[in-house]
Structure 1
Amino acid sequence: MQNTRRSEPGNPCGQKWASRLLCECAEAIAEKDTNKIHHLLWMLNELSSPYGDIDQKLASYFLKALFSKATQYGEQCYKNLLSIAAEKKGSFESTKKMILKFQEVSPWTTFGHVASNGAILEALEGETKLHIIDISNTFCTQWPTLLEALATRNDETPQLKLTVVVTQSMERSVLMKEISHRMKKFARLMGVPFEFNVVSGLTHLCELTKEDLMVEEDEALAINCIGALRRVNVEERGAVFRMLHGLNPRVVTVVEEEADFSSTRDDFMKCFEECLRFYNLYFEMLDESFGCTSNERLMLEKECSSTIVNVLACNDEMSSCEESEIRERSSQWCNRLKEWFSAVGFSDDVVDDTKSLLKRYRAGWSLGLSQGDCPGLFLMWKEEPVVWASAWKP
C-alpha cells in the first residue's frame, strides 16, 4: 500500500524515489512493522549503489543505517566503519589531493577559512607575538593564506606559534609530521618566524587542558574551531567552552555545519528526516560540483557513512574510546557560546572577502548574514543555509 504521509516544508520525505522509500522504511522501523521493514530493506538493497546517481547513493548510505537500526547492530556497524576507514586512509598526497580538489570546486570548507582568518587577523592586528590554537578538521589547509597575509603586513612581521589539537579519531602521526614539515617550509618562504606544535593522545576534546596548550602570558591568543566541536559530547560542550574562556583569547572562531542531530535525537523520525534533509543537500552539492567519475567525490561521500549510522542507529551512550559527530544548528551553538563569550561581528572587509570567494564558484552559492539573535555568516546552497561561521570574545 502506498504511504500517504504528507511532507511538511523542508521535509525530504515524499520527494524522489530514494527519499520516499527511505522515509517509508524509517516509519516502518519506528512502528516496528517487521514485514514492511524486510520488504523495504530488500527493495532499497536492490535499487541502491554507492556508484550511481544521487538517489542510488542516498539509498546505499542510509540503507546501512536503517538496517543497523532495525537489527540493533548500530554500534558494532559504526565501529566497523571507523576501522575500515582507518585501514584505508591513504598517504598525505592522496588526502591533500582530495581536500584541495574539494576546495577548488566548492566553498563548503573555504568559506569558513576566509571568515575565520579575517576575524583572527583583525583581532591580532598590531601584535608581534601570536599564538593560534587550531581545533579543527582542516589539516592546516587554511593557514598558508594567513601566513601570506602576515608576511605582507606593513609593520614588523610577527612571530606565529600554531598549536594543532588532534584527537584519536583525527590523528595520523605520519600525516601530521608531513603537515608540520610543509608548514615550516612555507613559513620560511614567507619570512614569518614560525613554531608548529601538535597536542595529541586525546580520546575526546573534553580531555584538553590549559596546560596542554602551553599559552605564554605575552602571546596574543586566537582559538580556531572548525568542524571539530560537533565531536564533543553534547553534555560536555559547555565545559569545553569554559576551558577555552579560561585561556582569555582575543578571539574564538567557530564554524559548524547547519543541521540539528541533537534536539531530534529522542524522536527517531524527526532525526531521520533532518539527517536525510542535510545529506540530500550535501550529496546534491557534490554532484553539481564534481565530475560524475571523481574519486575525490566518492571519498567525500563515503566519509558520510559512519556519521549517518552513528546518528540514526547508535545509542546515546557511545563507547568511551569513540567520538561521535552530533551536529547542532547555529541557534543552538549560540545559546551555548553566549554563556561564556560575546559575539564579534564580522567587519565589512571580511564580508566583502567572503562574497569575493563565492564569485569564484558555480551558481547556486550565496552569503547569508546573521539571523535574529544568532550572529555570524551563513554559506547558502540554493538558498538553504549549510555552513555557519562566527567569531567570539570573552
Structure 2
Amino acid sequence: EPPAATFATTEPKLFRSAIIKFHEVSPWFAFPSALANASILQTLTLDPSRHARSLHVVDIGVSHGVQWPTLLDALARRPGGAPKLVRLAVAGGAAPPGPFSVAPPGYDFQSHLLRYARSIDLNLRIDHTEDLGAGSVALTVGETLVVCVQFRAGHGRADDRTAFLRSIRELEPDLVVLSEIDGGGGGEVGFPAGFARNAELLWTFLDSTSAAFKGRDSGERRVMEGEAARFLETAASEGRDMWRERMATMGFREEAFGEEALDAGKALLRKYDGNWEMKAAPAEAAVGLWWKGHPVSFCSLWKPHRRN
C-alpha cells in the first residue's frame, strides 16, 4: 500500500488538477474565496478615488492561485475600468505551514495567471516574498492594499499567531480578509480535546468531500483527502470569538460584508450539495460556512484603527 498522497508529494500536474476540481465540486475553499474576492471589489467600488489606483493583494492562503482568475476577470470588467496595475504578492512563507499550504516542488501557477491576465488585457505583476517586513512587501504610496489570509493564521504556537498578525497590522492595510476553521471552542485546549476536535473536522471534510465527488474515487479526491489527514497533526482550531478578540487586541475593527458579497456567497453555494449552508446572523459581521448543521469555517473582514 503506497503512503497516502499529500500536496507536497503529488506530481504538479495532478496537484493542479486536484485543487481546480475541488473548487468545482466543494465550497470548502471556494466559498471564502468568493467572499474575499467580492469584498476586494467592494473596497475599490466604495471609494471612487481608488478606481485608477493600483491594487496590491498580499496572498497568504491555500488556493495556490486558483482563487485569483475570478477576481482578475471581475476587475477587467469593472464599469470604471480596471486598476492601472494589479500586484499580487504571494507570501506563503509569512505564516507557519499547515494543511493545504504547501505545494509540490515544480508547481508554478504564476505563468498560468500572467497568461490569463494578458488575455483579458489586465496589467498584473506577481511577486514572491517569505515575510511581511515592509522591505519585503514593496509598498507604493496611493495603492489600495489588501491582505488576504485564508486558513493560514491558526498554525504554530500562540505567540507565532500574535507575531504574524502584528506583521500584518504594521503594513497598515486598507482591508484584511481573515478566513479560518471555526473550531467552535475557546482558546487552546489539551491534547485529548484538541485531537477530538481535529478528528471531527477531518470527518466533516471526508464526509463533505465524498458527497462532492458523489462517492466516486479519483486521483484528485485522494490528493485532497490525503492532505486533509494533516488536520490531525495540527493545533486544534479555535472559535471565531478567539479570533475576534485577537484581532481587536492587534488594533483592527471588524467590518460587515456588503450585500454584493453576501449575494455572491449565496449564489455560489447553490452550485453545491444541499447540506452546505451559509450563516450570516444580523448581530454577527463574520459569515459562516456550515455542513449538516455544524460550523466548518468563517470569513471575516477587518480594517486597522488608523493611527493619528
Whether 1:368 aligns to 2:298 is: no
Q: Given the alignment, which residue of 198, 211, 220 partners 1:288?
A: 211
**Aligned match of 2:114:** 184
**Aligned match of 1:150:** 75
Contact 1:134 1:223 in 2 (8 A): yes
Q: How does 1:56-95 map to 2 (within 5 A)?
A: 85=6, 88-91=9-12, 93-95=13-15
Q: Secondary structure at the match of 1:212?
A: coil
Residues in 1 aligned to 2:184 and 2:17: alpha-carbon distance in whole angstroms: 30
Q: Which TM-score applies when normalising by structure 1?
A: 0.68
Amino acid at match of 1:288: A
**Residue deviations 1:136-156 (CA, integer Å, cap 9, x gap):** 111011111111111111123
**Aligned match of 2:240:** 330
**Aligned match of 1:247:** 171
**Aligned match of 1:70:** none
Q: Secondary structure at the match of 1:229?
A: coil
Q: CA deviation at 1:236?
A: 2.4
Whether 1:341 aligns to 2:252 is: yes
Contact 2:117 2:124 in 1 (8 A): yes
Whether 1:219 aligns to 2:151 is: no
Q: Which TM-score applies when normalising by structure 2?
A: 0.86
Q: Secondary structure at the match of 2:301?
A: strand
Contact 1:112 1:255 in 2 (8 A): yes
Residues in 2 aligned to 1:392 and 1:130: alpha-carbon distance in whole angstroms: 17
Q: Given the alignment, which residue of 43, 66, 69 partners 1:123?
A: 43
Q: Which has the larger radius of gyration?
A: 1
**Aligned match of 1:162:** 88
**Aligned match of 1:234:** 158
Residues in 2 aligned to 1:181 and 1:343: alpha-carbon distance in whole angstroms: 35
Amino acid at match of 1:269: P
**Aligned match of 1:63:** none
Q: CA deviation at 1:269?
A: 2.8
- Corresponding pairs, count: 290
Residue 370 and residue 343 in structure 1: after superposition, are their counterparts in 2 closer, same or farther (change >3 A)?
Answer: farther
Residue 260 and residue 359 in structure 1: after superposition, are their counterparts in 2 closer, same or farther (change >3 A)?
Answer: closer
Percent of pairs with identical residues: 25
**Residue deviations 1:54-109 (CA, integer Å, cap 9, x gap):** xxxxxxxxxxxxxxxxxxxxxxxxxxx99x84762312x21111011111111111
**Residue deviations 1:260-308 (CA, integer Å, cap 9, x gap):** 6883532x33223222222222211112111332222222221133331
Contact 1:260 1:274 in 2 (8 A): no
Residues in 2 aligned to 1:223 and 1:332: alpha-carbon distance in whole angstroms: 20
Q: CA deviation at 1:331?
A: 1.3
Q: Secondary structure at the match of 2:81?
A: coil
Q: Secondary structure at the match of 1:120?
A: helix
Higher RCO (CA-CA < 8 Å; seq separation 6+): 2
Q: RMSD in angstroms over aligned alpha carbons? A: 2.5
**Residue deviations 1:203-224 (CA, integer Å, cap 9, x gap):** xxxx542211111122110010
The runs of 5 or more residues in structure 2 that have no matched partner are none
Q: CA deviation at 1:184?
A: 0.8
Whether 1:133 aligns to 2:58 is: yes
Structure with more helix by fraction: 1
**Aligned match of 1:302:** 226
Q: CA deviation at 1:241?
A: 1.7
